[in-house]
């Protein structure tokens, strides 16, 4: 698959650090906040942000979880692709909490809609915010906007924006997969 690097290691590192600081600025000691990564691709971003936040501050009460939205998707039986479910790990009560949903790329907004419905089945949080690493502008199908954005990117419909996480070498990049080039 032909691909083009959109964000390199250095740039990505700066973005992640900024997002971590933005979360700290808004949520202080995280005593009433839950960070929830969306399965499967948001979880890696969640783990990195949690690690960065803990580097800056000692936060024993920082709680995070993983949410799978497969059974809440609106394209069941409507797309050729069958989606595999991943595990949801939500070992806390969300009632009255501030929730930050975390995902890597925001595209049509449909996954976020599914996540909002999925969150409902765990209780009624105080409020929900959205953090994304990449916001693909002008491609939304639903009125959904992020509260925290790493970078905004404009690419053609049909092209894929992927975040490639490399654990060992720390050489993560964001790249573009194009269909035609």
Partner 1 sequence: MKALSVDHLLGIKQLTEADVQLIFETADHFKEVINRPIKKVPSLRDITIANLFFENSTRTKLSFELAEKRLSADILNFSAAQSSVKKGETLVDTVNNILAMKVDIVVMRHPNPEAAQFLSKRVKACIINAGDGTHEHPSQALLDAYSLREKMGDLRGKKVAIVGDIRHSRVALSNIFALKLLGAEVKLCAPKSLLPKYSSALDVSVETDLMKTLKWCDAANMLRVQNERMDVSYFPTTREYALQYGLTMDKLKQLRKDIIILHPGPINRGVEVTTEVADSEYAIILDQVENGVAIRMAIIYLLASKLNNNIT
Q: Which residues bind partner 1 (CB under 8 A)?
A: 68, 70-73, 76-78, 81-88, 90, 117, 120-123
Query: Residue 42 CB, nearest distance to partner 1 (Å)?
Result: 17
Nearer to partner 1, 113 or 136 (CB): 113
Q: What is the rounded CA–CA span in Å between residue 111 and residue 106?
A: 8
User: In sequence order, what are the beta bridge partners of 105?
Assistant: 134
DSSP annotation of 85 reads P
C-beta separation of 164 from 180 below 8 A: no
Query: Residue 47 CB, nearest distance to partner 1 (Å)?
Result: 20
Query: Residue 86 CB, nearest distance to partner 1 (Å)?
Result: 8
66 phi and psi angles, rounded to 5 deg: -125, 135
Nearer to partner 1, 72 or 148 (CB): 72
Nearer to partner 1, 15 or 125 (CB): 125
Place of tokens 């995070």: 64
Can you read off the two tokens belonging to residue 164?
A: 């490639």
Nearer to partner 1, 90 or 161 (CB): 90
Q: What is the rounded CA–CA span in Å between residue 107 and residue 3?
A: 18
Query: Residue 102 CB, nearest distance to partner 1 (Å)?
Result: 20
Can you read off the two tokens belonging to residue 19?
A: 């997002």
């Amino acid at each position: 698959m032909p691909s083009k690097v959109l964000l390199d290691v250095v740039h990505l590192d700066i973005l992640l650090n900024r997002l971590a600081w933005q979360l700290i600025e808004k949520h202080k000691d995280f005593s009433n906040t839950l960070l929830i990564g969306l399965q499967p691709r948001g979880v890696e971003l969640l783990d990195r942000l949690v690690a960065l936040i803990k580097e800056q501050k000692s936060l024993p009460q920082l709680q995070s979880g993983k949410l799978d939205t497969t059974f809440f998707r609106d394209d069941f039986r409507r797309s050729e692709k069958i989606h595999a479910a991943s595990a949801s790990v939500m070992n806390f009560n969300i009632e009255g909490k501030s929730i930050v949903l975390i995902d890597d790329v925001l595209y049509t907004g449909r996954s976020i809609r599914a996540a909002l419905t999925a969150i409902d089945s765990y209780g009624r949080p105080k409020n929900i915010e959205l953090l994304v690493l990449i916001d693909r502008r002008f491609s939304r199908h639903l009125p959904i906007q992020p509260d925290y954005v790493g970078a905004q990117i404009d690419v053609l419909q049909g092209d894929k924006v992927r975040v490639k996480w490399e654990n060992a070498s720390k050489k993560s990049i964001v790249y573009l997969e194009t269909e035609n080039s």
